[in-house]
Amino acid sequence: MAPRLIINADDFGLTPGVNRAIAELHQAGALTSATLMATGPAFDDAVAIAIANPALGVGCHVILTDGQPVSPPETIPTLLGRDRASFRPSLFDFAQALLRGNVHEDEIEREALAQINKLQAAGIRITHLDTHKHTHLFPAVTRPLLRAAERAGIRAVRNPFEQHWSASLDHGSALRRLQVRLLRRFHTSFDRQPQISSARILTTNGTIGISATGNLDQTTLHTILRSIPPATATFELCCHPGYNDSDLDRITTRLRTHRDIERTALLAEIPALTLHPNAPRLIHYGELAQTTGDVDRLLTYHP
């Protein structure tokens, strides 16, 4: 059997332009999944698009940094920045507090569940969880996130670690590649979480394209897609398409002009990929356990 590929767009709900790009890509066969931000400025528009496109897998993009909480601030004090109303503004600040033990896991679980519940209350059937800026690669976030997933009846989560073969393609900046390599130290802990090791919650064999975030142009995407190994396995391609418009100008994000570049690259490369005789089968997270034996393959494939 051919490998399987989930093509997931993060930041669903960030702006109407990001939402429009996700809808267009999905309808063009270039996107199978998106993760919705519970507190995104264009949340309602994203929900309407998700409901109108039932074949699009929709996950919850849990935000723990650089954004607003759903929970009352007084119930999650260790997650907040100096203003005591919003999250810490950077991944570095969050990671420092986390590694110093200044963030409480019960508050992460509470906030993750609040974000999940907001999507469910809006009528979204959540296929999986991931986190803004991949914060759940840290064990202190992985644990409460998986507990929240079980409480909410969600059966899948992003594996936030890039595959060796993908990272070795040397795409993206040297600093980005170094960060990906250093953070790989937490991979074993992720795999050993009881929900993952027992397959109570499913995941992929890894996420590709993380090193190329901010540099995922058509040439880079072409190289990554043509490098997917022929072994039967499941991967996720993480991307951030959108439109660089006036709505995006009002948002704090480092990905601006590149959202247009990713959108164009996906439109050019994914339909072409599906014509290849050995093309991966495109799925979303809700289809992870669809084929007999998938769980065994997910747990045993190690490149």
- For the segment 87-95, the average pLDDT, to the nearest whole number, is 94
147-167 average pLDDT score: 93
d(CA 52, CA 192): 38
Q: Which helix (H) or strand (E) element contains residue 266?
A: helix 257-274
Indicate whether 234 pLDDT > 60: yes
pLDDT at 291: 56
Domain range for 258: 4-300
Q: Are 64 and 131 in contact (CB under 8 A)?
A: yes
CA distance 303 to 286: 24
Domain count, the chain: 1
* pLDDT at residue 176, rounded to an integer: 72
The pLDDT assigned to 240 comes to 95
Grade residue 295 by pLDDT with cuts at 50, 70 and 90: very low
Question: For the chain, what percent of residues have pLDDT higher than 70?
Answer: 93
Q: Structure tokens of 234?
A: 């499941």
- Residue 301 in this model has a pLDDT that exceeds 70: no
Q: What pLDDT is attached to residue 77?
A: 98
Residue 296 pLDDT: 41
Q: Which two tokens stand for residue 189?
A: 């802990």
> For the domain that residue 204 is a member of, what is the CATH number?
3.20.20.370
Residue 35 confidence (pLDDT) above 70:
yes
Q: Residue 228, SS3?
A: coil
The stretch 107-120 carries a mean pLDDT of: 98
SS3 299: helix
- pTM confidence score: 0.92
Ranges 68-77, 105-114, 167-176, 204-213: which has the least confidence? 167-176
Q: What is the pLDDT of residues 163-187, one digit of tens each?
A: 888 888 877 667 676 677 777 889 9
